[in-house]
Structure 1
Amino acid sequence: MSHSPIRKDKTCLNCRHVVEQKFCPNCGQENTDTRKTFHHLFIHFFEDLTHYENAFWKTIKNLLLKPATLTKEYLSGKRLSYLAPVRLYIFISFVTFLLIALFPNNVTENLTKDDKEITSNFENANKKEKGWKEKSYIKSKTLDKSYFQLKTMKEIDSIQKYGKEDEKLSDFQYWIYEKATHVTEKNTKKEIIEKFIESFIHNIPKILFIIMPFFAFFLWIFHGKKRWYYFDHGIFTLHYFSFLLLIFLVLFIINKIGGLFAENGLADAIVGIINFVGIVWMCYYFYPAHHRFYGETRFVSFVKSVILFFINFFFILFLLTFYMLYIFINLH
């Protein structure tokens, strides 16, 4: 509790209500002196942080180990002891994507190594066939473009004009091919994948926000409309997606730490086991959460969980495929 002196003026600075005691009965603001020393500021910060930590760690523990507990507690009215669903999701999202931005994946590093190896092998072959002179004209973009095996637009236009009907592209296919050709001419394979990964990671929050209402909608379809409101399914969805993000965050951190001991067999084994357990728990979690929250029999809950899993899986796959295509054709 704050030890700041109580103001002699009994008028609340926030709502102008009369304050007889320490806290305003109308808005809850503490009626203490607003001009505080650094000591008071530090103590106040520590008290707020401690209170937040208690609620935070209690929330995280229940989210990870007790499926649907947070949702049931929230909807029953017990809300002060835990972080609010939206605040929880935003906090985990922020930490997750901040760490991803600070510690990017090793995909591009591996690509660089592969490109060097391909370039080296390609150059060695050319030394034998064409000699040292032609070796200097070998470009990485040529190698990368051959990887995609795309025809030039001149070849495509020739097919469109003189080719057989079954070889010609539709207007949509032609537009996609033209975009793809433009991208491969302007970027190497490594650059394309780097830009794609960067764009995908930065837009994951948007993708998840698009998926969540649909996820809640599918839950609404499969459950009684009189007993459950869409709001209830929305809270369940927020907690479930918070769990998925949190597991992803934990595994990401563990893999980064494990990367510091890459040549240690024991460390690799421990990281592998943790990854396996985390992925299994991530896949299994929805069933007990669904069973405990909706209160249906285990068999009915299992059947619905499996159906909902596949519906959402194919929906997310479709959405991600569409989004990948969108990112690819908009690369510069």
Structure 2
Amino acid sequence: MRKVPLRRDKTCLNCNYSVKERYCPNCGQENTESRKSFHHIFGHFFKDFTHYDNAFWRTIYNLLFKPAALSKAYMSGKRLYYLNPIRLYIFISFITFFIISVFPNETAEIKIALNKKTTEESHFPSIDSLHIEARGIDGLTKMGVISQESNDSIKKLLKETNEINSKGIINLGYKDIDELDSLQKSGAKNIKLNSIKNYFLKKWLTVEEEHTEKEIFTKFSESFSHNFPKVLFIYMPIFALILWVFNNKKKYYYFDHAIFTLHYFSFLLIMILVLFFIDKLKPLLNTSPVLGWVHFGLKTLGILFMFYYFFPAHRLFYKDKFFLSFVKSASVYVINLLVFNVILVLFSLFTYLSLE
């Protein structure tokens, strides 16, 4: 790439330091004009990308196929040959969740298409074309559109649905906020709630009163998906803390466990993305029984590899004997699963109560 001519003014635009050569000896900025041509910007971007690309693919290869190799290399001082662990995690996290979010929900699209096709193929008269008295279930039965047996089943189903909807998504024992407030003010002492329970119940009932079940499901799914990467990032220090509890505290600092955690979570995100793409191939691979088994085998191998990877990575990084390493890693794995599930439940509850 052709070098851009230097500025005549030898004062650095970034730090006002005197620049005798091309680059400022104080901050390292190139002493060129701040306004660049598109050709220069594109060339600079391509140069930076190819440099980043080499380190990136080298890092990804070692991360996937050489458990703990990146963490050991980083701790030994080799920090320019591979990507920085934090940069690596942020980049992979962004790519993974961005790709998952932009892919269409094929299941929903198939359902919509099938519903549309069914509607188009139906030749029943429209509701608007019927008389008022014939628009109900009984009217459709008289016209022969549905049988009497279906009539009874539909009425029973509607009755049960109305009973469920009147109680909300979960029956908390209160019809609405007014009933809760009334019991809190004038109810017996043994049925009154403490301030914490009253707060959460009121929030829960408020969400159910202000939204339909469909709105709750849609908003909850969107909010949960949007904030889940943050939960994962916040959980990593806890994961590192559990590693710190189970390993030699004189030999390994918390920083060491944090580096191992960053690399392990980066691996998990890559595998989640791989499994996501495998799942997207399902409609193509299910065209024949053999390809269907290939899809099932690939997905199973991916899940097993995710589970297995932690054990050799833990043993190679912490250099314990096989049996001791297995006991430690299994304990760390189980404890983290339990803790993460608790955090996930709390996060789901917080997400639900925060719906607007």
Shift in Å at residue 11 of structure 1? 6.0
Maintained 8 Å contact 2:236/2:261: yes
Name the counterpart of 2:76. 76
Shift in Å at residue 324 of structure 1? 1.7
Question: Which whole-Å CA distance do the structure 2 matches of 1:298 and 1:170 have between them?
Answer: 53
Shift in Å at residue 259 of structure 1? 3.6
Tell me: CA distance 1:308–1:153, structure 2 relative to 1, closer, same or farther (3 Å). same
Name the counterpart of 1:86. 86
Deviations 1:19-78 (CA, angstroms, capped at 9, x unpaired):
666555554444566665544433322211110100111111111111111111112221
Deviations 1:153-205 (CA, angstroms, capped at 9, x unpaired):
34987999999x8xx68556676666555545555544433332222111112
Name the counterpart of 2:171. 150
Maintained 8 Å contact 2:275/2:299: yes
Where does structure 1 lack aligned partners over 5 or more consecutive residues?
A: 118-122
Of stretches 196-205 and 149-158 in structure 1, the one that deviates more from structure 2 is 149-158
Question: Which whole-Å CA distance do the structure 2 matches of 1:227 and 1:241 have between them?
Answer: 23
Name the counterpart of 1:55. 55
Tell me: CA distance 1:144–1:241, structure 2 relative to 1, closer, same or farther (3 Å). farther
Tell me: CA distance 1:302–1:149, structure 2 relative to 1, closer, same or farther (3 Å). closer
Maintained 8 Å contact 1:19/1:25: yes
Tell me: CA distance 1:147–1:112, structure 2 relative to 1, closer, same or farther (3 Å). farther
1:216 corresponds to which of 232, 240, 244: 240
Maintained 8 Å contact 1:212/1:238: yes
Which amino acid in structure 1 is aligned with residue 243 of structure 2? L
The TM-score, its normalising length taken from structure 2, stands at: 0.73
Question: Which whole-Å CA distance do the structure 1 matches of 2:104 and 2:51 have between them?
Answer: 33
Secondary structure of the corresponding residue to residue 285 of structure 1: helix
Shift in Å at residue 131 of structure 1? 5.6
Name the counterpart of 2:268. 244
Name the counterpart of 1:201. 225
Question: Which whole-Å CA distance do the structure 1 matches of 2:240 and 2:301 have between them?
Answer: 27
Deviations 1:273-308 (CA, angstroms, capped at 9, x unpaired):
221111111111111111111111111111100000
Maintained 8 Å contact 1:153/1:178: no
Question: Which whole-Å CA distance do the structure 2 matches of 1:64 and 1:253 have between them?
Answer: 17
Question: Which whole-Å CA distance do the structure 2 matches of 1:173 and 1:18 have between them?
Answer: 66
| Match runs of 1:18-57 below 5 Å | 23-30=23-30, 37-57=37-57
Tell me: CA distance 1:140–1:101, structure 2 relative to 1, closer, same or farther (3 Å). farther
Maintained 8 Å contact 2:73/2:79: yes
Maintained 8 Å contact 2:6/2:22: yes
Question: Which whole-Å CA distance do the structure 1 matches of 2:294 and 2:159 have between them?
Answer: 42
The TM-score, its normalising length taken from structure 1, stands at: 0.78
Tell me: CA distance 1:11–1:115, structure 2 relative to 1, closer, same or farther (3 Å). same
Which amino acid in structure 2 is aligned with residue 208 of structure 1? L
Tell me: CA distance 1:175–1:260, structure 2 relative to 1, closer, same or farther (3 Å). farther
Question: Which whole-Å CA distance do the structure 2 matches of 1:216 and 1:28 have between them?
Answer: 36
Question: Which whole-Å CA distance do the structure 1 matches of 2:174 and 2:111 have between them?
Answer: 27
Of stretches 150-159 and 65-74 in structure 1, the one that deviates more from structure 2 is 150-159
Which structure has the larger Rg over C-alpha atoms? Answer: 2
Which amino acid in structure 1 is aligned with residue 268 of structure 2? L
Deviations 1:202-246 (CA, angstroms, capped at 9, x unpaired):
111221122111111111111222211111111111111111111
Maintained 8 Å contact 1:11/1:18: yes
Which amino acid in structure 1 is aligned with residue 242 of structure 2? F
* Residues 1:323 and 2:344 aligned together: no
Question: Which whole-Å CA distance do the structure 1 matches of 2:264 and 2:22 have between them?
Answer: 40
Question: Which whole-Å CA distance do the structure 1 matches of 2:150 and 2:294 have between them?
Answer: 50
**C-alpha RMSD over aligned residues:** 4.2
| Match runs of 1:280-291 below 5 Å | 280-291=304-315
Maintained 8 Å contact 1:141/1:187: no
Question: Which whole-Å CA distance do the structure 2 matches of 1:315 and 1:141 have between them?
Answer: 36
1:305 corresponds to which of 306, 329, 352: 329
Secondary structure of the corresponding residue to residue 81 of structure 2: coil
Name the counterpart of 1:99. 99
Name the counterpart of 1:120. none
Secondary structure of the corresponding residue to residue 250 of structure 2: coil
2:148 corresponds to which of 128, 139, 145: 128
Question: Which whole-Å CA distance do the structure 2 matches of 1:16 and 1:151 have between them?
Answer: 67
Question: Which whole-Å CA distance do the structure 2 matches of 1:139 and 1:115 have between them?
Answer: 24
Deviations 1:61-101 (CA, angstroms, capped at 9, x unpaired):
11111111111111222111211111111111111111122
Question: Which whole-Å CA distance do the structure 1 matches of 2:170 and 2:109 have between them?
Answer: 23
Shift in Å at residue 151 of structure 1? 7.2
Seq. identity, %: 47
